[in-house]
Homo-oligomer: A and B are copies of this chain.
Amino acid sequence: MTTPHRTVAIGSRRYPLYLGSGGLDSVGTIWGALAPTSSAMVIFDDGVAHIAARVARSLDGAGIRVVEAAVAPGEPSKSLGEVERLCRLASTEGIRRSDAVVAVGGGVIGDLAGFIAASYQRGIHLVHVPTTLLAMVDSAIGGKTGVDLPEGKNYVGAIWQPHLVLMDVDALATLPARELSCGFAEIVKYGLLAGPAFVDRIATWPALPGKTEDLVRLIGDCVDQKIAVVVDDEHDLGRRAILNLGHTVGHGIEAAGGYGRYHHGEAISLGLLAALRLSENHLGLDPVWRERTIATLGRHGLPVELDATISVDAVLAAMARDKKAAAGALNMVLISAPGAPLTRQNPDPELVVAAIEELYP
């Protein structure tokens, strides 16, 4: 991994994005050549301590002093209490404005460490080393960072673009199958946003993760697609909303399940199907796309039927809480065909209910 996949330019930030196999041991030399950083704080998910250790060794080998900070896996770590603990550790350990935070983990770590990088001494360097498929195709790109409040997810955060992103698919070797599938749900989303050719390519995807070269190319295509949307709307005021395809109902299902019944990608799997059903009613989307999506999701272990213990009312109530926080209107992303998304304000409530009801077995 000696040359970057591409240079990313978002807002006033330009940074290289590396993508491939074997880069975990090159983080130190790559970062050392980019910025004159004397120290780095490696904030990592305790579940991938073995990967963090490789990254730390690599930084150390490049003459960069490493401060290691383990974080418990799971959403509860995205808290202001954890921000305070880690910022205090950073200052006790002498991390300076010119130093870097290196995030090693999935979306939770990226969001938490990203917000710390954005806020510690009003902002320091940030390096993302995503270790889940979901983080690679989604959360490591775009600069959204933040932590949760009891009142809602990501209620306190910042837009803070990284200074380097390094994606090594070797990190996925030890990722549980369920988490690989969760990342795949976001890839299916990108397919529906991109167009029929991308949908076809995903429809024939073998067992996850698949051949390394093919997986690297697939991740790269998703990343490019996300960047293309984000560069036009860094602060999420317009077009970036299309990336929420499947997320309106998906978030509702995730919350209604208490964030335990369904992991994020699983809730998105169901949310995508609801959005496609609604797209049929509102925009005349050909039902064949939903049938094919059900087949693709199901083949990779993603849920295509909603647990009967989760009621439509519970999902709608969670969606209403989201809506209240966001803008007052219920915005849903629909597609008239793969590759043709649009944002629909306040879709017919009865049709929304019907789309969720159709998820039950």
Q: Contact residues of A with B, CB < 8 Å?
A: 80, 83-84, 87-88, 91-92, 94, 96-98, 118-123, 144-146, 149-152, 154-159, 235-236, 324-328
> Contacting A91 at CB < 8 Å: which of B96, B144, B151?
B151
| Contact (Cβ within 8 A) B120 A155 | yes
- Which residue of chain B is the closest to A120 with respect to CB atoms? B156
Cβ contact of A151, chosen from B88, B98, B156, cutoff 8 A? B88
Residue of B nearest to A95 (CB): B325
Q: How far is the CA of A92 from the CA of B149 in the complex (A)?
A: 11
Q: What is the distance, in angstroms, from A14's C-beta to the closest C-beta of chain B?
A: 15
Instruction: Contact check, A158 vs B123: say whether CB atoms are below 8 A apart.
Output: yes
> CB distance B119 to A158 under 8 Å?
yes
Bound complex: CA of A98 vs CA of B84, how far in Å? 27
> A325 vs B92: C-alpha distance in the bound complex, in angstroms?
9
Point out the residue from B98, B118, B324, B325 that lies within 8 Å of A121, measured CB to CB.
Answer: B325
A324:B80 contact, CB within 8 angstroms: no
Known interface pairs A149-B84, A149-B87; A325-B158 also in contact (CB < 8 Å): no
Instruction: Flag if A80 contacts B84 (CB, 8 Å).
Output: yes
Contacts A92-B151, A121-B154 known; list 14 others, CB within 8 Å.
Answer: A80-B84, A83-B156, A84-B149, A87-B149, A96-B325, A96-B328, A98-B327, A119-B158, A120-B155, A121-B155, A121-B156, A122-B146, A122-B157, A122-B159
> How far apart are the CA atoms of A92 and B324 in the complex, in Å?
11
How many Å from the CB of A110 to the closest CB on chain B? 14
B80 contacts A158, C-beta separation under 8 Å: no
Contact A88 B158 (CB under 8 A): no
Check if A154 sits within 8 Å of B122, measured CB to CB: yes
Provided the pairs A80-B84, A119-B158, A123-B159 are in contact, do residues A326 and B96 lie with their beta carbons within 8 angstroms? yes
CA distance A119 to B83 in the complex (A): 13
Task: List chain B residues, Cβ under 8 A from A87.
Answer: 149, 155-156
A190 CA to B6 CA in the complex, in Å? 46
Alpha-carbon separation in the docked complex, A80 to B26 (Å): 36
Contacts of A146 in B (CB 8 A): 119, 122
The contact sample of 25 A-B pairs, CB cut-off 8 A, is A80-B80, A80-B84, A84-B156, A87-B149, A87-B156, A88-B150, A88-B151, A91-B149, A91-B151, A94-B324, A96-B325, A96-B327, A118-B158, A119-B119, A119-B146, A120-B155, A120-B156, A121-B155, A121-B325, A122-B145, A122-B154, A122-B157, A122-B236, A123-B158, A123-B159
